[in-house]
Amino acid sequence: MNLQDLRTELTARAEETADRQPDLLPGVRTKIRRTKQRRTATALVSVAAIAVLAVAVVPGVLNTSTPEPATPPDYVKDGQTVPGMINGDKLLKAWIGDPQQNKFSFSWTPTTNKIAVYAHCDAVGYAVPTEVRVTIGGRYLGSSVCHDGTTESETVAIGTFLADSPLWLTAPVGQATTVSAEVVEVESGKAQTSSRPISVGIYSTTDAARVGNPAPPAAGPDDFQQDGITYRKKIGGDTLLGAGVARPGSTEVRFKFTPNGSLLSLRPFCTANRGTATGNVPYMVEIRLNDQPTTTMTCNSESTDAGASGAASGDEHPPAGQEIEAVARLIPADPKSPPVPTDGYLGLGVYAQGPKRVVGGVGLSERIEAGGVNYRLSTVKSAPGTAKQVEIDTPANQNFVLAYGGAGLGTDGTLRAEARIGTATAGGMQVDSESHGDLGVSTETMVAQPATKAGMVITEGKPTGGTLVIAIYLPV
């Protein structure tokens, strides 16, 4: 190409560029290819100028992403809404059923092990109370009472499930599972139909303090761990002597331990019942020591921190140094109980109890743990069982644990007791005539509040003797 032809081509391209909007990115590629072909200084200068322009503009063209919204969008279907955020919890997955549909299921893959579950249904036109019940991976999570049509979404979670929930043993993060919801009568469990489509929202949550379930302490080198289940070496004043966890689907676990001379505390872990909406559970856990029946407990566990709850503290006091075999066995509560689920877990931990203070036959541990916090026994008050009540002063502006119970109260029928903080009910307990009036000890964790009176009151039954006890534990 001669000099005149080059000038003609450059003039034509300049006019073409002026007549249309530039498509910069393809232009840059074309110009770069032509730079390699052209040898004249004039062509190189022209390409360099265009390339500089492209560098200034292309980054804005390529960066089309937008930041993730602080609030996820609402999920809307058929005029019904599942909010993108409730109580600070952010929506992960939502589902709204079809009109007149009383139950549904959908697939969901967990991306976090800290969730809150909300569900909503309407009960317009029904004479009996109804509720929507939710399960994940076949595990019952809880229920929400159907409303009268004046509200569209539920603002109270049916449950919050954090990292220590047994839910994640059978519905682990990253694996697809099934979420199901069904509307039923509260008492009978019979299927009902919501007057508007039922809805479920699964939300991520980080507010453990709000739900009153802080994460358990981190496992230590002396703790027993297997299949995601932990028995810690020390819980409050108690010390682990031995533990075992059976493989999923097993109906028995056994191991040997050596007592240290202290009273024993037996703490089973069991998920075979998978949660239940009624008081009827298909399985119990029978515990034997050296093949002698010791106690039978309901198959239920709320935390993979297995030693922290569900303890049976009896009068087993084996001598120190004598090896004992412990056996926990899953037994049907009814001849019609369904087959044992293949993904159910069974475990047992045996602990030596720490020092106790005995008041009127009621043993109060000098040191306990509640919500991952250690507490020491501070103040104790007692009264004769025939008085039917006992009171104690609570601390001002400090978290504490309220403990209450009774022993040797004697009665031919049922005894019911209620704990109260001021005028508010804080908890309750009951025993039948076979207990001989031994209530045992219950505890309630209380948040800081102004000083007041706490009491324990017998609300049903007539004690004939024995002792009522109430106590305050303060943080260590």
d(CA 241, CA 259): 7
pLDDT value, residue 392: 97
* Contact status, residue 410 vs residue 464, Cβ threshold 8 Å: yes
What is each CA distance from 151 to 86, 88, 154, in whole angstroms?
A: 14, 19, 8
Q: How far apart are the first and last CA of the chain?
A: 93
Q: How far apart are CA 238 and CA 98, in angstroms?
A: 53
pLDDT mean by block of 10 residues, the chain; 476 residues: 46 42 36 36 36 37 50 91 93 93 94 95 76 93 83 82 92 96 89 85 78 64 94 95 94 96 94 74 93 91 88 80 95 86 93 95 94 93 96 96 93 87 87 78 92 95 93 96
Sign of CA dihedral 475, 396, 361, 406: negative
Residue whose pair of structure tokens reads 């007149």 in the numeric block: 100
Asked if 324 and 259 count as a contact pair (C-beta separation under 8 A), the reply is yes
How many CB atoms are located within 10 Å of the residue 438 CB? Answer: 17
DSSP of 165-207 = -THHHHS-TTS-EEEEEEEEETTT--B---SS--EEEEEE---
- If one counts every other C-beta atom within 10 angstroms of the C-beta of residue 115, the result is 24
Residue 37, number of CB atoms within 10 A of its CB: 7
From CA 200, how far away is CA 177, in angstroms rounded?
15
Domains of the chain: 3-62 (no CATH), 75-211 (2.60.120), 224-352 (2.60.120), 361-475 (2.60.120.40)
Residue (of 441, 124, 443) closest to 312 by Cα position: 441
C-alpha 379: how far from chain center: 32
| Residue 216 confidence (pLDDT) | 66
Q: Is 269 exposed, middle or buried (0-12, 13-18, 19+ CB in 10 A)?
A: buried
pLDDT number for residue 70: 77
Per the DSSP assignment, residues forming a β-bridge with 296 are: 286
Distance (Å, whole) CA 377 – CA 386? 25
Residues 6+ apart with CB under 8 A from 54: 24, 25, 27, 28
Single out the residue of 263, 278, 287 nearest to residue 346, CA to CA. 287
| Helix orientation angle between 24-37 and 41-62, rounded to the nearest 10 degrees | 150
C-alpha 103/C-alpha 412 separation (Å) is: 46
> Shortest CA distance to 52 belongs to which of 70, 67, 35?
35
**CA distances (Å), 456 to each of 369, 388, 442, in order?**
22, 8, 11
* Cα 381 to Cα 454: distance, rounded to the nearest angstrom: 11
pLDDT the model gives residue 218: 73
Q: Are 389 and 469 in contact (CB under 8 A)?
A: no
Q: Return the pLDDT at 31.
A: 34
Do 472 and 375 contact (CB within 8 A), yes or no?
A: no
The H or E element spanning position 299 is: none
Cα–Cα distance, 329 to 296 (Å, whole number): 9
Answer for the pair 462, 387: CB distance below 8 angstroms, yes or no.
no
Residue type, 137: G
